[in-house]
Amino acid sequence: MMLRQDWWLSEAPASAFQARCGRWYRMALRTMRSPAMVFGLVILAAMVLAAVFAPWLAPFDPNAQNVQQRLLPPGATHWLGTDQLGRDLLSRVIYGTRPTLLIVSLVALLSAPLGLLLGMCAGYFGGWVDTLLMRVTDIFMAFPRLVLALALVAVLGPGIVNAVIAIAITAWPAYARIARTETRTVRGSDFIQAAKVQGLRTSRILFGHLLPICLPSTVVRVTLDMAGIILTAAGLGFLGLGAQPPMSEWGAMISTGRQYIFDQWWVAAVPGVAILLGSLAFNLVGDGLRDVLDPKNG
């Protein structure tokens, strides 16, 4: 009997580990079978590498001006041409991945936890708590994201930090809605009632039982929202309310190149293509994650 018990104790962790590895293996297979998601991941990996190794990948100083070489078309020396101040566009696009990824990451880290917490509280407690939190959510969702972000940045002042705060304040309501729906679906489930009977604290139920259920849907929504965050950040930069000169930022680059759009089209087209590829990559990855994290797919 002792040998049988020892065998069970030694095999159970191995079985659980094998099951966990099998789940990750199946998710990896589903990811590799989605060409669109793989393409999105490749673009995101290239953006991350460009942001991290920008000083080594950029052929020129992004802020170095040379008026004698202003508005040069793409060529052997300047692969993507130069802007109105003679700055190399390829170098500026590479360095422009830094503020873009910084804004996207900080907005996600600020807005997603806030939306998750408020949504879980609204769905779990119900009653006046649900009514109050959802009415506040409705107020924020009633305004277009870019318009509300513009109003907040106008109050706070231009800059990356204020842009992150403004976009995060406009982004959390969608995550609160998702978390509330997921929480209300399982609030009356047997395992939640059993946790209450055992005397578990509310915080333990929220973060130990409800959070893992709400997390997959929120991760997918965050990934899909990142494309919108890129566009919002570019819009703020285009209006001069985001990253400030001389920092390279894609929206600000389009703003300075719009006056040359008919003759020197590359000045505005190059950062525009960068915004397009970044937004496309996040959308492709978000669509792929929705399929990979779907419990119906095993």
* Shared-domain flag, residues 4 and 57: no
Task: Say whether the peptide bond before residue 295 is cis (omega within 30 degrees of 0).
Answer: no
* Shared-domain flag, residues 110 and 28: no
**Within 13 Å of residue 88, how many CA atoms lie on the same side as its CB?**
16
* Shared-domain flag, residues 5 and 92: no
Q: Which amino acid is at 187?
A: R
**d(C-alpha 145, C-alpha 105), whole Å:** 17
* Shared-domain flag, residues 133 and 211: yes
Burial class (CB in 10 A: 0-12, 13-18, 19+), 21: exposed
* Shared-domain flag, residues 27 and 156: no
Give the residue numbers spanning the domain of 104.
Answer: 39-297
* Shared-domain flag, residues 24 and 113: no
* Shared-domain flag, residues 193 and 237: yes
Domain count for the chain, please give it: 2
Report DSSP state, residue 264.
S
* Shared-domain flag, residues 25 and 158: no
* Shared-domain flag, residues 3 and 53: no
Q: How many other C-beta atoms are found inside a 10 Å radius of the C-beta of residue 111?
A: 24
* Shared-domain flag, residues 23 and 67: no
* Shared-domain flag, residues 154 and 199: yes
* Shared-domain flag, residues 133 and 249: yes
Domain CATH for 258 = 1.10.3720.10
Which residue stretches of the chain have pLDDT < 50?
A: 1-14, 17
**d(C-alpha 226, C-alpha 192), whole Å:** 33
